[in-house]
Amino acid sequence: MAETRQSAGTLPSLLDLPLHELSVLLHGREVSSREATQACLGAIERLQPTLNAFIHVETDAALAQADAADREIAQGRIRGPLHGVPLAHKDVFFRKGRRSTCGSKIREDFWPDVTATVMERLDAAGAVDLGGLNLAEFCVGPTGHNDHFGHCRNPWNTDHVSGGSSSGSGSAVAARLIYGSLGSDTGGSIRLPAGMCGAVGLKPTHGRVSLYGAMPRCWSLDVFGPITRTVRDAAMLLEAIAGYDARDPWSRAVEVPAYVAALGRGIKGQRIAVPQNHLYPQLPSGLRSAHDQALAVFEDLGAEVALISMPDPEDLYRWTTLINRVEASFIHKDWIRTRRDDYNVSTITRIADGFDVSALEYIDALERRDQANERFAREVFEHCDVLYCPLLLIDVPTIAETDIRTEASAPGIVHRVTQATRWVSFVGLPVLTLPVGLSVGGLPVAAQLIAPRFAEERLVAFGDAYQSATRWHDRKPPNSA
């Protein structure tokens, strides 16, 4: 190992680096994968009691992977930018022979006999896997409440939700416990935890990333994607996991661009649309100010910002919810009948209603997707390159006020949490979530950039340009390594 690498006494500084900067140090042999992995493990040990971001930490396996990466790197056999980088992932991605709880009591001792395609692809890229991250049970819930393994906490203020359902991914990345993570998103479950915790979330187009080998939430809407500190890091992770997989019937044989190559090309002359009739006008003044400033940055970078009228998202939201409930109730039908009491109250409330939806309603909702996509293409993307929407129409709520068991107002607040995210899933569009400020209460404010299907490279170009001119992604939460 090169003698110029950092000493053990300076290891904590490694955790301030984004993934792409650590990658350079690893492959230049200025630091070892073992040192970076040990730094993460030490931070996890210190902050896990505060944040509860992990369900299980695989210390021995991770160190073995790190040592193997160091040997290959020393021999000049660098597999790519993720080689030797410590990551951890939402505990729904199966790894053969390793426990995968799905955040549930029902699967707390489940040992899968297959490995998820996304995990295989990260293994092939040489990434280190530190373990399984906390989540809302079975990916059901936008706040991250979990009665079985405990609620995950927001590193900016531990009284507040970290977002769900990929709660541990958002919290751990923002708190500098890991350099990146994979989450899943059915109605906002990558975007919400990323945005609420001040990280970057990238929801790909439905069909861009294989769903094989993971616990489904709703196969018609599910997507897997990265949560990272920077847009460049997200582009690197997406490039590693995207692509057709014959084992996944939803996978699409669409060419995967070189996402990292799309970075740095600028956005001068590109068009950003802001809906004047939905979502954006509903923002309270404190949040509106942060978004107005973000749009001003895009204008300074040469983009054209214009107001447009967009289709009403409420119908799309309603159809998304209907599909969610039907498919979830089918996936869970046997457990609902035999182990109903083993579910969180919030989980069973959201999925059991699917038994009451008729087949005609379900098929009607599915058939409306193509119509909705055509309308969006015509009414939105003929007039812009990306659509700009807020992630949240309210401040990040507290864990207590979103507990549906104790607070009568909780269902209304939970609905507001997903009001700006769930509708996008119906049309399967790719979305990039960016931190764009802090609220009066000191919690992250985030935006969504939405592009046409399979245009993720457009999103990362816009997001990277924004982060080249701002420093919100560098802000550290109070509870971080």
Cβ atoms < 10 Å from Cβ of 77: 11
CA–CA separation, 137 and 147 (whole Å): 8
- 260-264, long-range: CB < 8 A, 24+ apart: 260/81, 260/232, 260/235, 260/236, 262/235, 262/457, 262/458, 262/460, 262/461, 262/464, 263/231, 263/232, 263/235, 263/460, 263/461, 263/464, 264/464, 264/468
90 carries an active-site annotation: yes
CA–CA separation, 470 and 355 (whole Å): 48
Angle between helices 19-27 and 33-51 (to 10 degrees): 150
* Secondary structure letter of residue 6 according to DSSP: P
Q: Out of 32, 165, 251, 329, which one is annotated catalytic?
A: 165
Q: Out of 166, 169, 184, 189, which one is annotated catalytic?
A: 189
- DSSP labels, 333-357: HHHHHH-GGGS-HHHHHHHGGGGGS
210 carries an active-site annotation: no
476 carries an active-site annotation: no
Of 278, 250, 211, the C-alpha closest to 423 is: 278
**Peptide bond before residue 165 is cis, with ω within 30 degrees of 0:** yes
Contact between 40 and 111 under an 8 Å Cβ cutoff? The reply is no
CA angle 309, 324, 243 (to 5 degrees): 80
Q: Out of 32, 90, 100, 169, which one is annotated catalytic?
A: 90
Of 234, 254, 258, the C-alpha closest to 245 is: 254
CA–CA separation, 23 and 477 (whole Å): 23
Catalytic center residues: 90, 165, 189
